[in-house]
Structure 1
Amino acid sequence: MPRIETPWGPWEPAPLADVVALFQGLAVPWWVGGGYAIELAVGRSYREHGDVDIAVLRRDQSAVRALLADWDVHAADPPGTLRPWPVDEVLPGHVHDIWARERPDGPWRFQVMLDEADGDMWVYRRDPRIRRPLSTLTITDDGVARISPEVQLLYKAKDRRPKDELDFAEVLPVLDGGRRRWLDEALAVEHGDHPWRRKLRS
């Protein structure tokens, strides 16, 4: 795993298997996100990963903080900064990004992302017009849930980096018609025209 320097200390991502093993002790729904979720959909490794993303529903954040009681955990509040997340604090609605490391002088090991929900519906935090049943949000393989690739691509579509373009190109051949249509429609709602839409329909 690469070591990346940040203004808040180095990132040295934990192996995905180690993070999954930790979160298997969590009694609420959680899933693998980010580039690893795309790679798992593709079915093979094709690039390095600078971080590990685990996502949970905002309403389950207290269970996550309890699981990480012995970790040094910080919230991006406001975005672009970090502050400690006390064990007994409920994070405000604008916070969705959490960083965790074993100790204050150690490297950051993974991120936890907070997703929104309304009852049994997942709600896209950047545009609440986009939603879908929570039962369709994730895919479970070998007992480990990962976010559906079309949903992860929606997050990646806003500020596309080279790794996001690579993820889109690698996973596109394995997206069936329903997943392509969902992403095409979601991109239309959030962005109007978007260069990925033409490729999804081709």
Structure 2
Amino acid sequence: MTHAHDHLGSWEPASPADVVATFSGLDAWWWIAGGLAIELAVGHPFRSHGDIDVQLLRRDQRAAQQALAGWEWWAADPPGTLRPWARDEVLPPGVHDIWCRPGADDPWRIQIMLDESSGTDWVSRRDPRVRRPIGELGQVSADGIPFLAPDIQLYYKAKSPRPKDEQDFDAVLPVLTERQRRWLADAITMTYGHHPWTGRLHR
């Protein structure tokens, strides 16, 4: 998501370690997502990040309010209006971005992304045919940070890749397993049709 909402305040992303400290006590699945998930898969920094994304399942959305108790939570109503998210309000299916900051005068620190699930499966909100067991959705970095598996993250980035998404694809391609490459190529083809990434995944 681009941060065209500069009049709504600036971003100072929390560190992955801060996110772990904040979310680790939750009785819910969560993963660092976005460009930082790709960086954690690669194992070293290779570009700057304007924000930090934390992915939760929609069914666990209230866990975000527990983890960030006392913070301000703002839901992004498509196509991009921010509005306060009330305590215990269940967000409608079209809303899957929540911007969070400690207080009204603070910069935004964390962006929560909500994703869909069915029983024990994660289900892509882009295409319900694309799914995976929830327990296989993420990986864990050497220092114990849960992050969204790079093939899942690239599947989202493949919709309309920006230069930074191409950079992420180039950086993480060498570390993708054969299984991840195959899954990603199949998922991209199923959802988006012909795509420049799939040829490179089959090499």
- Which band: TM-score by shorter chain? over 0.9
Shift of 1:4: 8.8
Write the distance in 2 (CA, Å) between the matches of 1:144 and 1:73.
23
Residue identity in the other structure for 1:139: Q
For residues 126-161 of structure 1, the C-alpha deviation after alignment (integer angstroms, 9 at most, x for no partner) is 111111111211112343211110000001111211
Would you say the 8 A contact 1:140–1:146 is kept in 2?
yes
- What is aligned with 2:27? 27
Which secondary structure does the structure 2 equivalent of 1:76 belong to?
Answer: strand
- What is aligned with 1:65? 65
Residue identity in the other structure for 1:183: L
Would you say the 8 A contact 1:4–1:10 is kept in 2?
no
| Residue 20 of structure 2 corresponds to residue 15 of structure 1 | no
Q: Give every structure 1 segment of 4 or more consecutive aligned residues whose post-TM-superposition deviation is greater than 3 Å.
A: none
Q: Normalised by the size of structure 2, how large is the TM-score? A: 0.94
Residue identity in the other structure for 1:17: A
- What is aligned with 2:118? 118
Shift of 1:11: 1.4
Would you say the 8 A contact 2:71–2:103 is kept in 1?
yes
| Residue 110 of structure 2 corresponds to residue 145 of structure 1 | no
Write the distance in 1 (CA, Å) between the matches of 2:89 and 2:66.
11
Would you say the 8 A contact 1:13–1:50 is kept in 2?
yes
Write the distance in 1 (CA, Å) between the matches of 2:189 and 2:74.
34
Identity, % of aligned pairs? 56
Write the distance in 2 (CA, Å) between the matches of 1:103 and 1:184.
42
Q: Which blocks of at least 5 consecutive residues in structure 2 are unaligned?
A: none
Aligned 1:45-194 pairs, distance under 5 A: 45-141=45-141, 142-194=143-195
Shift of 1:14: 1.9
Residue identity in the other structure for 2:181: R
Q: How many residues are paired up?
A: 200
Write the distance in 2 (CA, Å) between the matches of 1:105 and 1:159.
34
Shift of 1:23: 1.1
For residues 23-69 of structure 1, the C-alpha deviation after alignment (integer angstroms, 9 at most, x for no partner) is 11322111111111101111111111111000111001112212222
For residues 92-134 of structure 1, the C-alpha deviation after alignment (integer angstroms, 9 at most, x for no partner) is 1111000000111211111000011000011000111111111
Would you say the 8 A contact 2:140–2:146 is kept in 1?
yes
Write the distance in 2 (CA, Å) between the matches of 1:79 and 1:52.
20
Provide the aligned C-alpha RMSD in A: 1.5
Which secondary structure does the structure 1 equivalent of 2:6 belong to?
Answer: coil
Write the distance in 1 (CA, Å) between the matches of 2:52 and 2:195.
27
Shift of 1:177: 1.0
Write the distance in 2 (CA, Å) between the matches of 1:146 and 1:199.
24
Which secondary structure does the structure 2 equivalent of 1:82 belong to?
Answer: strand
Residue identity in the other structure for 2:83: R
Q: Which blocks of at least 5 consecutive residues in structure 1 are unaligned?
A: none
Would you say the 8 A contact 2:98–2:111 is kept in 1?
yes
Write the distance in 2 (CA, Å) between the matches of 1:176 and 1:184.
12
Q: Normalised by the size of structure 1, how large is the TM-score? A: 0.94
Write the distance in 1 (CA, Å) between the matches of 2:98 and 2:193.
30
